[in-house]
Structure 1
Amino acid sequence: MKRFLLYFVLLVITVQAKAQVAINFIPSVAGQTLEGLSLVQLVNTTGNNLQGQLTITVKDGSGAGVVSIVVPRLPIRLGVNSLNKGILSGSRIRFGESPSAAGLSQTGRFSEGEYEYCYELAAESAKPGGIPTIYENCFQHTLQPTTPLMLIDPYDQAEICNTRPNFSWQPPMPLQRDMRYRIVVAPVMERQDAVEALANNRPVINIADVRHNNLIYPVQVPDLVKEQRYAWQVTAYTGKVMLTQSEIWTFTIHCEDSIPVQQADSYRELKVEADKNFYLAPGTLRFSFYNYRQAGRLEYEIIDLSNPDVPVKKLRRINMQVGLNKIALDLQDNADIKDGNQYILKVKNVTNQELTLRFIYQEK
């Protein structure tokens, strides 16, 4: 009899432990903004629909309060409940004494630093006057400054001859483990700006779940139209949460004088302001620049725009002199340089200025 009673008590305790509300929140994704605090998931496994008060409290690394949000009478259905930023409209929000609280109240964004995000749900008792059941969970995270998502190629307002161009962009940092991208490319009609084009026109490319920060022109997509202007934008997201968006850039498919041929005996002068054209480099890339300081080793790199994450290797060492430098860089024996691919040459002189040249390699 005693053994039976002990078994019954343990069974009741086990059932009560499983019958609860789990609180899930991803601070690395949603903990950067005030609105993001509402992107919490409540998993109700109690067996009944509930109603209660949700309190969200954020403290900084020193324990000082940043913000406190009270969501009254929140319905919690049986199963998974995914909340959204709409719940904040009827909530009570109080900013705390932490130095970061003032910035949050003005901008809606948390400054970099350490934070603790605590969620407490006080579920109302089924019996009138009963004691509410408390479910809570806290999450710690260190926010780091995020770099913007920046488009790389095609360059803004570029005129290109390639009707099947590749697209590349620089991802926001720090990288999220499950971050994905959506790229949208749409034609821009006459008397229409780029924002209107992406919002209203039928896109020629609209691809989600891109895992890398570049897109090779899809095989199934028709060629772009010559003399047509296009707008493009990239969005970074994780799960169903949008992290950030790039600016909107435009480019035009235009072949006349868009790819000047690099003559065998000519050298293209590098400048701080990037040239938007591509230049043909038949076997050898010839470029020139002025060095007004001392001689030394030239720091440079070549980036393949179809795969910008992997730098071109085995580039030969180049020494620069004071004054005018004319460089003939033989690329024929470099296995990383492919015929017909688009590249960017980046050169740093002794004053640490970055000079660039965009070119298309062509086998001699």
Structure 2
Amino acid sequence: MSKLKFIFFVLFISISAAAYAQTSIVFVPEVYGTTLNGLFRASIFNASGVKSVRMNITIREARAGKIATIQTQAFTIVPGNNIIPSGVARTASVAMAQNSTANFIRRNQYFPQGDYEYSFNIYSASSSQEIIIDQVFNNEITPPAPLDLIEPYDRDEICEKRPLLTWQPSIPKMDGLLYQVMLVEIKDKQNAVEALNYNLPIVNQKGVVANLLVYPPNSKELVAGKKYAWQVSAYRDQTIINRSDVWSFEVNCQDSVSNVIAADYGYRNIEDLVKGNYYISNGFIRFSVINSYAPQKISYSVVCTNDPSKKIRNLPILRFKSGENKVNIDISRNFSFDDNYSYVMKIRMPDGTQKSLRFTYKQLPE
């Protein structure tokens, strides 16, 4: 008889464990674990029947200890994946701890640097003793990576009077993160930082979602011969999260192919581009290359990888001087190039070797 009781006991434990495993929390702490609201982006996978449940979330930080406890009202989960209803998130009670980390979150609405633990507890709405799932996630929040600008390059010379402004996305990613782009003219005897701090902006665009800005149509176009400074800030709910360095550039378009350029900035070595195997041409192809031989005309061609049968015509003449060459090829008015198509430029060097540059053509905004 005792053996039979033992068998029933083992069966009971197995069934309970199986029922426990039928419900789980789906949550990505690296993406959503940076704000209190982000915690409600968790979902509940339920493999069994309809249940009325409540949820507790406890947030702890390794040094500060308990940060906050969130408790929801009762809500229903059905078989399958359940998103936490917005009404449940709005009415949830939040008890914040009394420590410096919790105070920071109260003021700024996001979590500072630290080692966090998120404990999700789902239990029956009828009895807090009936635990359906207790699941823990961990996440280390590090300081944001530098917000790097991409183009126009620092101290570059460009032809575009309404340039496309691009930058690296802010890392780590944060819910509700937006960008502000500022661009100002640099006056005489000013540096780029002074200009950005004191001059009226030509572009002051807030609420940018993507990591690029097409030049706003309501902003006046840039003027040839003038220098400009620009900066991008990442913010959430009026709080600055990250900010780029201030870069400058000049609108100074000369020949379609220019080999002697005063500025040494903004022209990446063709060897680096080959290794990276990726380049975006916003109407121009810019690169640097060293010619160890006498000045001479260079043979080169461009092939479209999307449509190899298409002929790329009317390419400008390319001449290299001895030593380092800063090359700027204007293809913005060449109708052989199609927007978002990929191309390979092959350059025959004086020593007989071949350099290749693979790029994607982006049409300039009108």
Q: Give the TM-score taking structure 2 as reference length.
A: 0.50
Deviations 1:179-236 (CA, angstroms, capped at 9, x unpaired)? 9xx9xxxxxxxxxxxxxxxxxxxxxxxxxxxxxxxxxxxxxxxxxxxxxx9x897535
Q: How many residues in Structure 1 have an aligned counterpart in Structure 2? A: 245
- Within 5 Å, give how 1:86-125 maps onto structure 2: 86-124=87-125
How far apart in 1 are the matches of 2:128 and 2:96? 31
SS of the equivalent of 2:53 reads strand
- What is the CA distance between 1:283 and its match in structure 2? 2.9
How far apart in 2 are the matches of 1:121 and 1:89? 18
Q: Does 1:306 align with 2:288?
A: no
On the 8 A contact 1:56/1:120 being kept in 2, the answer is yes
How far apart in 2 are the matches of 1:173 and 1:113? 16
- What is the CA distance between 1:279 and its match in structure 2? 2.0
1:18 to 1:151, Cα distance in 2 relative to 1, 3 A: farther
- Give the counterpart letter for 1:170 in structure 2: Q
How far apart in 1 are the matches of 2:68 and 2:131? 24
SS of the equivalent of 2:251 reads coil
2:17 is matched with 17
- What is the CA distance between 1:87 and its match in structure 2? 2.5
- What is the CA distance between 1:52 and its match in structure 2? 1.6
2:77 is matched with 76
2:329 to 312, 327, 339: 339
On the 8 A contact 2:57/2:118 being kept in 1, the answer is yes
On the 8 A contact 2:259/2:327 being kept in 1, the answer is no
How far apart in 1 are the matches of 2:140 and 2:117? 9
1:283 to 1:114, Cα distance in 2 relative to 1, 3 A: same
How far apart in 2 are the matches of 1:114 and 1:306? 38
Deviations 1:55-95 (CA, angstroms, capped at 9, x unpaired)? 01101112611111100212112210012554332111111
- Identity over the aligned pairs, expressed in percent? 20
- Give the counterpart letter for 2:133 in structure 1: Y
- Give the counterpart letter for 2:216 in structure 1: T
- What is the CA distance between 1:313 and its match in structure 2? 6.2
- Give the counterpart letter for 1:144 in structure 2: T
How far apart in 2 are the matches of 1:337 and 1:18? 67
How far apart in 1 are the matches of 2:128 and 2:262? 81
- Extract unaligned runs of 5+ from structure 2: 179-202, 230-245, 274-278, 292-319, 333-366
Deviations 1:338-358 (CA, angstroms, capped at 9, x unpaired)? 62269xxxxxxxxxxxxxxxx
- What is the CA distance between 1:306 and its match in structure 2? 2.0
How far apart in 2 are the matches of 1:86 and 1:51? 15
1:170 to 1:23, Cα distance in 2 relative to 1, 3 A: same
1:140 to 119, 125, 138: 138
- Extract unaligned runs of 5+ from structure 1: 183-228, 237-244, 261-267, 289-298, 317-329, 343-364
How far apart in 2 are the matches of 1:145 and 1:248? 29
Q: Give the TM-score taking structure 1 as reference length.
A: 0.51
SS of the equivalent of 2:104 reads helix
How far apart in 2 are the matches of 1:86 and 1:336? 59
SS of the equivalent of 2:74 reads strand
How far apart in 2 are the matches of 1:307 and 1:6? 74
How far apart in 1 are the matches of 2:6 and 2:117? 40
Report the aligned-residue RMSD: 5.2
- What is the CA distance between 1:141 and its match in structure 2? 0.7
- Within 5 Å, give how 1:1-364 maps onto structure 2: 14-19=14-19, 20-45=22-47, 47-62=48-63, 64-83=65-84, 86-124=87-125, 131-146=129-144, 153=151, 160=160, 168-174=166-172, 235=209, 250=216, 274-275=248-249, 277-281=251-255, 282-287=257-262, 300=265, 302=267, 306=280, 337=327, 339-340=329-330
Deviations 1:228-266 (CA, angstroms, capped at 9, x unpaired)? x9x897535xxxxxxxx77885257999x9667xxxxxx
